Structure 1
Amino acid sequence: MPADSPAFGGETPSRPRASLRTAVVWEVLKDALDRRAKAAGPETGGVLDVLDTGGGSGRFAVPVARLGHRVTVVDPSPNALFALERRAAEAGVADRVRGVQGDAHGLFDVVERGGYDAVLCHGVLEYVDDPAEGIRNAIAALRPAGTLSLLAAGQGGAVLARALAGHFTEARQVLTDPAGHWGAGDPVPRRFTAEQLSGLVTSAGLAVSAVHGVRVFADLVPGVLLDSEPGAVEALLRLEAAAAELPAFHSVATQLHVLAERD
């Protein structure tokens, strides 16, 4: 699979590591949106309304819009929303992407409750004061039949990364801290296990359909290998995809992806 295929979220071959970081989630999300569009019926023309909370500059929103869907991105950063506008224009989907300033806590100050076929909640729960409230708001934005794509930092992956870097005390701190935080210099306030994320989703009323480990190997492989070995990016992508659904690898993934649906 070429590194510039849509499966990589529209990334280019000059950014192979960024492509590897999004590929697994994008494949799962695209399949879920395709299923939801078919289930919505012919009267919709296969077009979904998608909400991307914390969507930033549009890494997922723009590829989703390329599929023909309407995407609303909510993000607290004006700079990120400006970058989103530029990226959407460059991709030729400016008419299908709308950016609004806001956050997960005050989500319904800026978007409609119950107005979306799918909600992306990627990289949000790590930073909100109350993850359970963040999930409840994301789910409340869904229509009676809808899909939630949840992506958050994995606790086990941080333990492994700190240990391999020789920071053994910090690795132990991640392992024992309830928030999965390794210290004052840690830029990520909170990390999760697969069980914690699934529990948040089911407690809020959705059924978990799949859990994936993301960036199981990609963050551990030296960049020089990807640059120097022919076919290394494609081979690593296939390895990531093969490991993503295996529970044994969820505990060492840098990120965890939960797909959940309301039927």
Structure 2
Amino acid sequence: MSDPMRPRASLRTAVVWEVLKEALDRRVKATGREALDVLDTGGGSGNFAVPLAALGHRVTVVDPSPNALFALERRAAEAGVAERVQGVQGDVLGLFDVVERGGYDAVLCHGVLEYVEDPAEGVRNAVDALRPEGALSLLAAGLGGAVLSRALAGHFTEARHALSDPAGRWGAGDPVPHRFTAEQLTELVGGAGATAGSVHGVRVFADLVPGVLVDTEPGALDALLKLEAAAAELPAFHAVATQLHVLGEKRG
């Protein structure tokens, strides 16, 4: 199967997609079932759900936005996977009002923890939705990436403020309510009853490189993708990544 992500968008998703696909392949082998039950909390219009359904998995998307769910339905139909994608209105803090507890082989929680009032409860719910030894894919905003970005833009006071702020915010105008370090995310996963496995830095360089360079220089996009992949697992780069991805497994 070809890469389901558009070339430019792949800079933001390629690392997560590869890690997630490998984790699901392992679950397929462990369970003996080719089709897994996947829950995508905050999955929006299906950036991950539709490609996962194209691989044959059954995907339930929980999202608070009716517009996003409408777009998901249309996108799934266009991709020919509508029968394997279900959209449900809700959020991760009220997850079990709309989905089954312990009913999924994998749960995606991407870009959700930044915006919920209680991130720890959000992770607990995501883990509680898993079957024993199910896979958790957690993606959240990284503190270091925001600090670096503000500093490179010349906003040094805001960068320093983010370093000391408990939520990792650079000021009152910051649109992101929470940011995390890799250590904080792995602690949340462990406290929720799962074992944190690999940690990857996402968008280590992509948000710092001028878009015109990537779009116009021959071979630049492919080279940048390879650089992102090479740096993703190195702890030294987790501290400056725009996002952090943690792969967890529910304890049996």
For 2:31, the aligned partner's letter is A
Matched with 1:177 is 165
TM-superposition CA deviations, 1:191-223 (whole Å, max 9, x none):
000000000001111111100000000000001
Matched with 2:72 is 84
- Counterpart check, 1:110 vs 2:98: yes
Using the alignment, how far apart are the partners of 1:95 and 1:115 within structure 2?
Answer: 18
For 1:122, the aligned partner's letter is H
TM-superposition CA deviations, 1:84-127 (whole Å, max 9, x none):
11111111111100000001111000000000000000011111
- Counterpart check, 1:37 vs 2:7: no
- Counterpart check, 1:12 vs 2:3: no
Q: Tell me the SS of whatever aligns to 1:105.
A: helix
Matched with 2:119 is 131
1:5 positional shift: 3.9
For 2:29, the aligned partner's letter is K
Q: Tell me the SS of whatever aligns to 2:199.
A: strand
Matched with 1:156 is 144
Equivalenced residues, count: 251
Provide the alpha-carbon RMSD of the alignment.
Answer: 1.1
For 1:20, the aligned partner's letter is L
Q: Which one of the candidate residues 53, 57, 73 is aligned to 2:61?
A: 73
For 1:27, the aligned partner's letter is E
Matched with 1:23 is 14
1:182 positional shift: 1.1
| Structure 1 outlier segments of 4+, above 6 Å | none
Structure 2 residues without counterparts, runs of 5 or longer: none
TM-superposition CA deviations, 1:37-83 (whole Å, max 9, x none):
11111xx3x10000000001111111111110000000000011011
Using the alignment, how far apart are the partners of 1:85 and 1:183 within structure 2?
Answer: 37
TM-superposition CA deviations, 1:151-183 (whole Å, max 9, x none):
000000000001101111111111110100111
Matched with 2:193 is 205
For 2:65, the aligned partner's letter is S
1:19 positional shift: 1.4
Q: What TM-score results when the alignment is normalised by the length of structure 2? A: 0.97
For 2:21, the aligned partner's letter is K
Q: Which one of the candidate residues 239, 251, 259 is aligned to 2:227?
A: 239
Using the alignment, how far apart are the partners of 1:227 and 1:258 within structure 2?
Answer: 29
Structure 1 residues without counterparts, runs of 5 or longer: none
1:187 positional shift: 1.1
1:11 positional shift: 2.6
Q: Percent identity?
A: 80
For 2:209, the aligned partner's letter is V
